[in-house]
Amino acid sequence: MLRKKILFIGGSLNQTTMMHKISMYFQEYDCYFTPFYAEGNLDILVKNGWLDFTILAGKFKEQTDNYLKENHLKVDFKGKQNNYDLIFISQDILIPDNIRNKKIILVQEGMTDPETLMFHLVKNLKMPRFLASTSVTGLSDCYQLFFVASEGYKNLFIKKGVDPAKIRVTGIPNFDNCKEYLNNNFPYHNFVLVATSDRRETLGYENRKKFILKSLEIANGRQLIFKLHPNENVKRATNEIKKFAPEALVYSDYNINFMIANCDVLITKYSSVVYVGIALGKEVYSDFDIGHLKELCPIQNNGKSAERIAKIAKAHLEFDDYKYIGTSNFNFLFYN
C-alpha cells in the first residue's frame, strides 16, 4: 500500500518551524515541505522583486529555504511533484489554486493584525483577503479544520465570522511551552526589552521616534535593549535608536525568546512575542489591550500542541467525513 502524502507549507521562520514540529508526528506518512508561494500575477510580482517584504520572497523565503536544507527536509516547491492527501497551511489570506480541491488544515501562526477599515472592506465587499493581512485569518473557509491557540482566540475567530464547527483549541507550536526559554545563555538580566516591528518594511506607518521615546520613559533609567524585527532595515533602525537612546543595546539576530525570559519588562507594538512575556509573567506593553491579550494568550501545555494537532489531523486524513471527527466525543479521545 502506498504511503499517503502530506504537504506542509511554510512561510516565515516561525510558520516553517511550526510545520516542522507537527510533521514529526507523521512518521508513517510521506511528508514534503515548501516555502509559501503564489501563482499568476502575484508570482510575476515575486519574480520581479516587488514582494520581497512578504513571506513569498526576500528574507523570509531565504530563511525558510535555509531551514529546510539544514534540517534535511524533503522539498517540493509549490507542491508540484506529488498528489497530496493532506495540506497543512499556517495562513489562509492567500490560497494557491493547486491545493483548493485538497483536504486543508489551517494552524494559527500567532497574533493576528488589528481590525482596521480594510478588514471590514475585505470582509463585506469580498475584496482580496491579502489586502487586510492576518486580520482576516480563517475567513477563507477553504479548510476543513482550524487549530487555534486558546479559547480566547476561538471566541475571537468566531466573532470575525469563522465557522465554529471547524475550530479546535489545541494550543500552537512555538508558543505552548514558554518556560523552556528560562534556560538560556543570554548575558543580561533585569532589563527593559523592546521588540520592534517591520510595519515600515511592509508598507505600513510607524512613528519610530515616538516609540523609542516611550520606551525610554518606561525604562526610567533601567538598561534598555532593542531586538529588531527579522525583516527590518537593520542599519536604519540602529541609527534611529542610537540617535534617541544612545545608551541602549541593539540586537538583530539573537533569539528573542531567551531575551524575554531574562527581561523584567517587555515593550511591543503588534508582535506575537508579547505572549511569551505574558506566559512568563513579565510586565508587558503593547498597542493591543493587555487585558484582552491575556485572554488570548496561547495555552501552555508543555509543548504538546504539535502532537495534539497531529492526532486529530491523522483521524481527519483517514476519515472522509470530517464532520464526524469534529464531534466532541471524538476529540475527547485525543486529549487523554
Same domain, 54 and 172: yes
Same domain, 277 and 141: no
pLDDT at residue 31, rounded to an integer: 98
Same domain, 194 and 211: yes
Q: Is the pLDDT of residue 223 over 50?
A: yes
- Tell me the per-residue pLDDT of 266-279, one tens digit each, with 9 for 90 and over: 999 888 999 999 99
Full residue range of the structural domain in which residue 208 is found:
178-296
Q: Which residue has the cell 487585558?
A: 291
pLDDT at residue 1, rounded to an integer: 64
Confidence category of residue 320, pLDDT binned at 50, 70, 90? low
Same domain, 320 and 227: no
Same domain, 25 and 149: yes
How many angstroms separate the CA atoms of 67 and 90, rounded? 17
Q: Is the pLDDT of residue 251 over 90?
A: yes
| pTM to 2 decimal places | 0.89
Q: What is the mean pLDDT of the segment spanning 301-325?
A: 82
Q: Is the pLDDT of residue 166 over 90?
A: yes
Task: Estimate to the nearest angstrom the gap between the alpha carbon of 101 and the chain centroid.
Answer: 24
pLDDT at residue 184, rounded to an integer: 97
Q: Is the pLDDT of residue 155 over 90?
A: yes
How many angstroms separate the CA atoms of 332 and 330, rounded? 5
Same domain, 258 and 305: no
Same domain, 310 and 279: no
Q: Which residue has the cell 492527501?
A: 85
Question: How many other CB atoms sit within 10 Å of the CB of residue 169?
Answer: 19
Q: What is the CATH classification number for the domain harbouring 75?
A: 3.40.50.2000
Same domain, 164 and 235: no
Same domain, 163 and 192: no
Nearest to 188 by CA among 136, 151, 150, 224: 224
Same domain, 328 and 197: no
Same domain, 9 and 42: yes
Parallel, antiparallel, or unpaired: how do β-strands 283-285 and 265-267 relate?
parallel
Q: What is the mean pLDDT of the segment spanning 15-21?
A: 97
Q: What is the mean pLDDT of the segment spanning 323-327?
A: 42
Question: How many other CB atoms sit within 10 Å of the CB of residue 170?
Answer: 30
Number of structural domains (the chain) is 2
Same domain, 14 and 163: yes
